[in-house]
């Protein structure tokens, strides 16, 4: 599995691409692989305020439903509505498929997230591989 170096990672398995005060959020390759075939994504509403670490939606697979957690706090500026018709896109391209975009309230909140190497180590420790 690959984890882009330009992303930051949450221990809840979301990735974050921060560009100034604009954040793009998706789930990691590890998360989509653990979930299996994704059949539905619950998205928040544009304009919704989300606190760092708060649930903003869920991903449903043939195996389970998992909550999605925002790595940073902010206001939802866009949702990937294409996932309503093609949620499986996350399975085929987790690193390239965004779920929400945020205007970040405090970009320093991303400082506590993991870089790619630390996330890979975290996943290895969590899975025992």
Has residue 1 got a pLDDT over 80? no
Has residue 70 got a pLDDT over 80? yes
Q: Which two structure tokens, joined as six digits, stand for 89?
A: 């896109």
Instruction: Report yes or no: 3 and 116 within 8 Å, Cβ to Cβ.
Output: yes
Is 35 within a domain?
yes
Which parts of the chain are beta strand (E)?
A: 8-9, 14-19, 22-27, 38-42, 49-50, 55-61, 65-69, 74-79, 100-104
Has residue 79 got a pLDDT over 80? yes
Amino acid 128: pLDDT: 82
| Residue 123 CA: distances (Å) to CA of 19, 33, 47, 80, 88 | 25, 12, 33, 26, 22
Amino acid 125: pLDDT: 93
CATH of the domain at 42: 2.40.50.100
Rounded-to-integer distance, Cα 36 and Cα 83, Å: 16
Amino acid 109: pLDDT: 86
Amino acid 46: pLDDT: 98
Overall residue count recorded for the chain in this entry: 129
Question: Above pLDDT 70, what percent of the chain?
Answer: 99
User: Total domain count for the chain?
Assistant: 1
Question: Which residues form the domain of 56?
Answer: 8-106+116-127
Amino acid 106: pLDDT: 86
Has residue 107 got a pLDDT over 80? yes
Is 34 within a domain?
yes
70 torsion bin: left (phi>0), alpha (psi -120 to 50), beta (else): beta
Which parts of the chain fold into alpha helices (H)?
A: 29-35, 82-85, 89-92, 116-127
Amino acid 126: pLDDT: 87
Helix, strand, or coil (residue 66): strand
Is 61 within a domain?
yes
Question: Is the entire prediction scored with pTM above 0.75?
Answer: yes
Amino acid 39: pLDDT: 97
């Amino acid at each position: 599995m690959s984890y882009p170096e330009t992303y930051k990672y949450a221990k809840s398995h979301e990735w974050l691409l921060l560009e100034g005060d604009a954040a793009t959020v998706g789930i990691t390759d590890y998360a989509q692989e653990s979930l299996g075939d994704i059949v539905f994504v619950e998205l928040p509403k544009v304009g919704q305020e989300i606190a760092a670490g708060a649930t903003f939606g869920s991903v449903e697979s043939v195996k389970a439903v998992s909550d999605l957690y925002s790595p940073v706090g902010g206001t939802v500026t866009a949702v990937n509505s294409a996932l309503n018709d093609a949620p499986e896109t996350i399975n085929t391209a987790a690193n390239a498929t965004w779920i929400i975009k945020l205007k970040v309230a405090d970009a320093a909140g991303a400082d506590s997230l993991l870089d790619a190497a630390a996330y890979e180590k975290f996943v290895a420790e969590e899975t025992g591989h």
